Structure 1
Amino acid sequence: MSLNVVAICGSLRQKSANKGLLRYAAANLPAGMQLTIADLSDMPFYNADISDKPAPVQRLLGQLATADALLFACPEYNYSIAPALKNALDWASREPGNALLAGKPAAIMGAGGGMGTSRAQYHLRQVCVYLNLHVLNQPEVFANAFAGGFDGDGNLLDATIQENIRKQLAALQAWHAQLKG
């Protein structure tokens, strides 16, 4: 049985380094893991007045319903979480009993300025506590997006970060087995 991971990127830009992290992860999965990158590009902001969930929201919720684990690519906007990522979690958390998120293992990676999104990742960890997601503590993946580790299309070139991602994916797989075992 394959571990189904849904990846959510907080950046909407196709050539973002954070999407590059997820593209690298998707191309370098350990055996027994599959990964789907969610598309948030047309997702409306959460609004409790919207009674019929728009198609992009239904698509994400459907993906999360089948997810065994989550992988977040967390950019840092003004020292915190990007709105697209927070919005996706807000929509998902409104499902009855928080059924799409509660109890699932998750991992976080991110590419940004000098500290590589560390502040935003810690904010995301706080949100995950409330959502009852079980975030992998180590290895952490912090990438400086402006130090030559990515090409102009956001593709990951840095061998050390590539190795960290492979280690994180293997650790996420083991974390899932430990939590569900």
Structure 2
Amino acid sequence: MTQTPTRIVALVGSLRADSLNRRIAEALRDQAPEGVVVEIASGLADLPFYNEDVDATQTPAAAAALRELVAGADAVLAVTPEYNGTMPAVLNNAIDWLSRPYGAAALSGKPFGVVGATPTPYGGKWAHEDAVRSFGVAGAVVVDGAVHSQSAIDVNVLEDADILGRLQAVVESLAAFQPTAA
């Protein structure tokens, strides 16, 4: 009997094709542990800014597709840089779309973690704290130990085995998460 793999959807907070955080997401996808599939969400650039009037009349195709992808996942991982001391607008907008409709949102109860790297001393810590807060408010369950902020000053994040191990540990934490009984 084969077991269904754990599906983790990665939301990348940078739209740049060759961004360090996109490459981190790709490395996590390519090196996912056995029994885990990391799928990088596409189309975040196609999401219009959230507007409840639009959502109530005809949800845009990009938003409906993202909701379906996340609803079918076992967990969500944000892989994001930090822009001006906070998370990028594209990630915040994705949260807005994924947090609705209220009571039946795709994020409701989803295990969540966040990783990323920036060429700053704090490695995106503020953006990651904001993501934890926003995803939690939106209904996701922030998994203990599933946050890693990495400075990319003087280190190649993608070639340092110790750093890659810490990033992969977040994926493993999400895959192993078991909700506590209420």
Is the TM-score greater than 0.5?
Answer: yes
Q: 1:102 to 1:95 in 2, by over 3 A?
A: same
Give the whole-Å Cα distance in 2 for the aligned partners of 1:121 and 1:41: 20
User: How far did residue 124 of structure 1 move?
Assistant: 1.2
User: How far did residue 137 of structure 1 move?
Assistant: 2.4
User: How far did residue 143 of structure 1 move?
Assistant: 1.9
Q: What is the aligned length? A: 174
The structure, 1 or 2, with the larger RCO (C-alpha pairs under 8 Å, 6+ apart) is 1
Give the whole-Å Cα distance in 2 for the aligned partners of 1:139 and 1:130: 17
**Secondary structure at 1:115 match in 2:** coil
- Residue 179 of structure 1 corresponds to 179
Confirm or deny: 8 A CA contact 1:92 1:98 kept in the other structure: no
The one-letter code sitting in structure 2 at the alignment partner of 1:56 is A
- Residue 16 of structure 2 corresponds to 13
- Residue 98 of structure 2 corresponds to 92
The runs of 5 or more residues in structure 1 that have no matched partner are: 151-155
2:72 to 63, 66, 73: 66
User: How far did residue 118 of structure 1 move?
Assistant: 0.5
- Residue 62 of structure 2 corresponds to 56
1:20-49 per-residue CA deviation (whole Å, 9 max, x = no partner) reads: 111110011111111211111222111123
Give the whole-Å Cα distance in 1 for the aligned partners of 2:146 and 2:109: 20
**Secondary structure at 1:62 match in 2:** helix
Give the whole-Å Cα distance in 2 for the aligned partners of 1:116 and 1:169: 18
- Residue 122 of structure 2 corresponds to 115
User: How far did residue 180 of structure 1 move?
Assistant: 7.2
Quote the RMSD (CA, aligned, Å). 1.7
User: How far did residue 173 of structure 1 move?
Assistant: 1.3
Confirm or deny: 8 A CA contact 2:113 2:170 kept in the other structure: yes
Please tell me whether residue 47 in structure 1 is matched to residue 48 in structure 2. Answer: no
- Residue 157 of structure 1 corresponds to 159
1:160-180 per-residue CA deviation (whole Å, 9 max, x = no partner) reads: 2211122222121111xx217
Q: Tell me the percent identity.
A: 33
Give the whole-Å Cα distance in 1 for the aligned partners of 2:135 and 2:63: 20
The one-letter code sitting in structure 1 at the alignment partner of 2:89 is P
- The two structures have a TM-score, normalised by structure 2, of 0.88
- Residue 24 of structure 1 corresponds to 27
The one-letter code sitting in structure 2 at the alignment partner of 1:103 is G
Confirm or deny: 8 A CA contact 1:11 1:18 kept in the other structure: yes
Q: 1:140 to 1:125 in 2, by over 3 A?
A: closer
The runs of 5 or more residues in structure 2 that have no matched partner are: none
- The two structures have a TM-score, normalised by structure 1, of 0.88
Confirm or deny: 8 A CA contact 2:146 2:171 kept in the other structure: no
- Residue 153 of structure 1 corresponds to none
